[in-house]
C-alpha cells in the first residue's frame, strides 16, 4: 500500500522545502495526467485520423465544465478547510469536505443525466454537425460516466493534499493514467473499438482513480475524514450556506475551466470558418497540448494554495508573501521552458499526433509556435489567480479569469484574424493571456500605491458549523 504519512507542517517548515514537498508529487501526478492526454491524442490521431481528434475536441467542453465544477468545490473547500485547521476547528473542516463531495457528486449526476437524455440537443449546442457528427456522438455517449468519476477525483485530490498526503494524491493520478493509457492502445488498435474504445478507456481509468480517492477518504485519512451529515431543514440551510461560500471562494476555478471551454468552442467556430474541418483538426492538436501546459501551471498554484491558505488563516503574512514570490518564480521558469519546447520543436510535437504527409500536419506545425507564445503569461496568470483564491479575494480572482478566458479571448478571436489572417487565429489565446498579465501587474501596482500599509490580516471566512 502507498504510504500517506507525509507529516507536513504548514505553519513552521521552511517555505522552499514545504513547497517542494507538495509540488514535486503534485507535478509528477500532473505529468502522468499529461502523459494520459498525450498518449490518448497519439492513439486517436494515428488510429482514427484527424476526424477522431476533431470529434473529441468538439466534445471536450463538457469535460471542462465538470472539471471546472470540481475545481470550484475542491479549491473552495481546500481554502476554507485549511483556515479552519489553522484555527484548530477540525470538525468544521471535516464537515466542509463532506459537503463538498456530496454537492459535487449530485451536480455531476444531474449534468450526466441531462447529457444522456438530450444528446442531440447538447451536440448541436457544441457545434457538432456534418460528416463529423456520428463520430462525435459515438465518443460522447460512452464518455458520460467520466463526469461523475472526474468530479470525485478532482475534489478528492485537493482534500488529500490538504490532509498532508501529496504522494497518495500523486499515485491516484499515476495509476489512473497508466490504466487509461494501456486500455487506449488495446481498445483502439488490437480491438478496433474506435472512439468508443477511447472513451471507455477514459471511463475505466477514471474509475480506478475514483476508487483510490474513496479508499483514502474512508480509510486512510489522517484528519479530513468524512463526517456524518444531518439532513434536517436547519442542517440543509447551513449546508447551502457553507457550499455557497466555498463556491464563492473557488468559483474562479470553475470560470477558468469554462474559459478553456470557451477557448475551445470559440476557436473551433473560427477555425472552421477560416480553414474548414482541417483547421479544426489542427487547432485540436493545440487544444490537446493546452491542458498539458495548464496542468503544469496548476501544479504550481495548487501546491502553493494550502500553504498560503493555512498561513493566511493563522495570520502569518510573511510566510504568505514568501510563498507567493517563490511560486511565481517557479511559474515563470516553467512557462519559459514550455514555451521554448513548443516553439523550437513544433513539427516533431505535431508528428506525435499525425503523419507528416497530412495537410493538417502542416497547418498545426505552422500555427503551434504562435500559439505557444502565450504559455509564459498563462503561467503567471494561473499562479496569481490561485494566490487570490487562497486569501479569499474571490472577486479579483474571478475578474482576472474572465479577462484571460472570455473577455479578451473572444475579442481577440474576432479581431486578430481580420488583421493578421491565419496567424491572428493562432495568436488570439496568447494575446488574451498577455493582456491579462498586464492587467494583473497594473492591479497589484495600483493596490500597492493605494495602500502602503496593506498586510495580510485575519481570515474573513464566516463558516460556523
Residues 263, 405: contact at Cβ < 8 Å? yes
* pLDDT of 35: 65
Question: Which residue, among 105, 98, 182, has the nearest Cα to 145 in the 3D structure?
Answer: 105
Question: Which residue, among 227, 287, 241, has the nearest Cα to 89 in the 3D structure?
Answer: 227
Instruction: Work out the percent of the chain whose per-residue pLDDT is above 90.
Output: 32
* pLDDT of 36: 62
Confidence of residue 456 (pLDDT cuts 50, 70, 90): very low
Compute CA distances 436 → 304, 396, 432, whole Å.
Answer: 21, 12, 6
Determine phi and psi for 424, rounding to 5 degrees.
Answer: -65, -35
What is the three-class DSSP state of 160?
A: helix
User: 204: which 3 cell numbers?
Assistant: 475505466
Give the start-end residues of each E strand in 131-240: none
- The whole-angstrom separation of Cα 110 and Cα 256 is 21
HEC readout, 193-205: CHHHHHHHHHHHH
To the question of pTM greater than 0.85 for the whole model, the response is no
Residues 324, 304: contact at Cβ < 8 Å? yes
What is the three-class DSSP state of 316?
A: coil
Task: Give the pLDDT mean for 206-227.
Answer: 92
Q: What share of the chain is helix, strand, coil (3-state, %, to 5)?
A: 85, 0, 15
- The whole-angstrom separation of Cα 378 and Cα 388 is 15
216 vs 260, residue with greater confidence:
216
Query: How many residues make up the chain in this entry?
Result: 465
Amino acid at each position: 500500500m502507498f504510504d500517506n504519512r507525509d507529516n507536513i507542517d504548514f505553519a513552521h517548515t521552511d517555505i522552499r522545502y514545504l513547497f517542494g514537498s507538495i509540488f514535486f508529487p503534485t507535478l509528477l501526478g500532473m505529468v502522468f495526467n499529461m502523459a494520459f492526454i498525450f498518449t490518448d491524442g497519439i492513439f486517436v490521431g494515428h488510429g482514427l485520423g484527424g476526424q477522431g481528434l476533431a470529434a473529441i475536441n468538439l466534445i471536450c467542453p463538457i469535460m471542462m465544465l465538470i472539471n471546472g465544477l470540481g475545481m470550484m468545490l475542491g479549491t473552495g473547500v481546500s481554502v476554507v478547510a485549511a483556515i479552519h485547521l489553522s484555527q484548530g476547528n477540525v470538525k468544521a473542516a471535516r464537515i466542509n469536505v463532506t459537503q463538498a463531495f456530496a454537492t459535487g457528486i449530485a451536480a455531476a449526476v444531474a449534468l450526466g443525466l441531462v447529457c444522456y437524455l438530450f444528446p442531440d440537443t447538447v451536440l448541436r449546442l457544441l457545434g457538432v454537425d456534418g460528416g463529423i457528427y456520428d463520430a462525435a456522438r459515438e465518443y460522447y455517449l460512452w464518455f458520460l460516466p467520466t463526469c461523475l468519476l472526474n468530479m470525485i477525483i478532482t475534489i478528492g485530490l485537493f482534500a488529500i493534499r490538504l490532509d498532508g498526503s501529496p504522494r497518495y494524491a500523486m499515485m491516484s493520478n499515476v495509476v489512473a493514467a497508466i490504466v487509461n493509457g494501456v486500455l487506449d492502445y488495446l481498445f483502439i488498435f488490437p480491438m478496433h473499438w474506435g472512439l468508443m474504445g477511447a472513451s471507455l478507456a477514459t471511463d475505466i481509468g477514471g474509475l480506478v482513480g475514483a476508487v483510490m480517492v474513496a479508499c483514502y477518504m474512508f480509510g486512510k485519512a489522517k484528519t479530513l475524514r468524512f463526517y456524518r451529515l444531518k439532513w434536517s431543514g436547519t442542517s440543509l440551510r447551513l449546508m447551502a450556506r457553507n457550499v455557497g461560500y466555498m463556491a464563492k471562494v473557488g468559483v474562479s476555478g470553475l470560470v477558468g475551466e469554462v474559459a478553456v471551454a470557451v477557448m475551445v468552442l470559440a476557436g473551433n467556430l473560427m477555425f472552421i470558418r477560416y480553414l474548414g474541418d482541417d483547421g479544426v483538426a489542427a487547432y485540436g492538436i493545440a487544444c490537446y497540448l493546452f491542458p498539458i501546459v495548464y496542468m503544469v501551471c496548476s501544479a504550481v498554484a495548487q501546491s502553493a494554495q494550502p500553504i498560503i491558505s493555512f498561513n493566511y488563516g493563522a495570520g502569518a503574512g510573511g510566510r504568505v508573501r514568501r510563498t507567493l514570490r517563490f511560486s511565481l518564480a517557479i511559474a515563470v521558469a516553467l512557462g519559459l521552458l514550455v514555451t521554448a519546447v513548443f516553439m523550437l520543436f513544433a513539427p516533431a510535437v505535431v508528428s506525435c499526433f499525425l503523419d507528416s504527409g497530412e495537410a493538417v500536419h502542416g497547418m498545426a506545425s505552422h500555427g503551434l509556435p504562435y500559439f505557444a507564445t502565450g504559455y509564459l503569461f498563462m503561467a503567471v496568470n494561473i499562479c496569481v489567480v490561485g494566490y487570490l483564491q487562497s486569501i479569499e479575494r474571490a472577486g479579483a480572482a474571478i475578474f482576472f479569469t474572465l479577462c484571460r478566458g472570455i473577455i479578451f479571448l473572444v475579442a481577440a478571436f474576432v479581431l486578430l484574424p481580420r488583421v493578421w489572417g491565419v496567424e491572428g487565429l493562432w495568436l488570439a489565446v496568447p494575446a488574451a493571456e498577455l493582456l491579462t498579465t498586464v492587467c494583473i501587474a497594473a492591479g497589484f501596482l495600483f493596490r500597492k500605491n493605494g495602500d502602503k500599509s496593506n498586510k495580510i490580516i485575519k481570515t474573513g471566512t464566516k463558516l460556523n458549523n
